[in-house]
Amino acid sequence: MRRWLNDYADGLLFLIAAIEVLVGSPSRSTELTCIQLRNTSCRTQGLYNIGRCMAIVVQYSKTSTRNGHDTLIPHVLDAFYQDIIKTVTFVTHPFAEQISQILYPDCNDITVLWHNQLFVKNDRPFVTEDISSILQCTSLEAMQVQLGIRDYHQLSICV
């Protein structure tokens, strides 16, 4: 079970990297890593159906003191990523939540993390360094150049 959860977390890391690169303009990775599956007392959910499309909505909080609220920025998913997100949300994520209860019986925080967040790395949320490392590995393999999250953001501005 532990191996499955590790492999699933690796798959989520590839998914978050693909969404960062392929779905709309790049977000701050901290906005993307904290996407909620459900509303909580502090944050609203980050998955929405807009008509026949599904969107990941990131919350930009840098201007919230000036505006009095977070700015919501939707990133519409194509059909391929919509299907993956639906499978993650309705099939594999609930299973991972159950496994986390078995593997970490004394850590309710981990189960709550799996219950509320879309992107989880076993016992913690993903961080920018996780996304940057997977982007570096895949860009090195594909282009023979290591591009981390900061490099990708700079290049996307130029293009």
- Report residue 112's pLDDT band, with 50, 70 and 90 as the boundaries: very high
Are the C-beta atoms of residues 122 and 9 closer than 8 Å to each other? yes
Residue with the bigger pLDDT between 143 and 63: it is 143
Unique residue bearing structure tokens 């490099």: 151
Mean pLDDT, the chain, integer: 84
- What is the C-alpha to C-alpha distance for residues 78 and 63, in angstroms, rounded to an integer? 29
Q: How far apart are CA 48 and CA 25, in angstroms?
A: 18
64, pLDDT greater than 60:
no
Give the per-residue pLDDT at 124: 92
pLDDT per residue over 86-104, tens digit each?
999 999 999 999 999 999 9
Given a cut of 80, whether residue 109 has pLDDT beyond it is yes
> What is the arithmetic mean of pLDDT over 48-65?
77
The per-residue pLDDT for 142 is 87
Please give the Cα distance from 144 to 69 (Å, whole number). Answer: 42
What values do phi and psi take at 124, rounded to 5? -160, 160
Work out the angle between the directed axes of helices 2-22 and 79-87 (0-180°, nearest 10).
150
Average pLDDT over residues 102-124: 92
- What's the pLDDT tens digit per position in 120-156? 998 999 988 898 898 888 888 888 988 887 887 777 7
Pure H helices in the chain: 2-22, 29-33, 64-67, 79-87, 93-103, 108-116, 128-143, 149-158
Sign of torsion over alpha carbons 154, 57, 22, 143: positive
**159 pLDDT exceeds 90?**
no
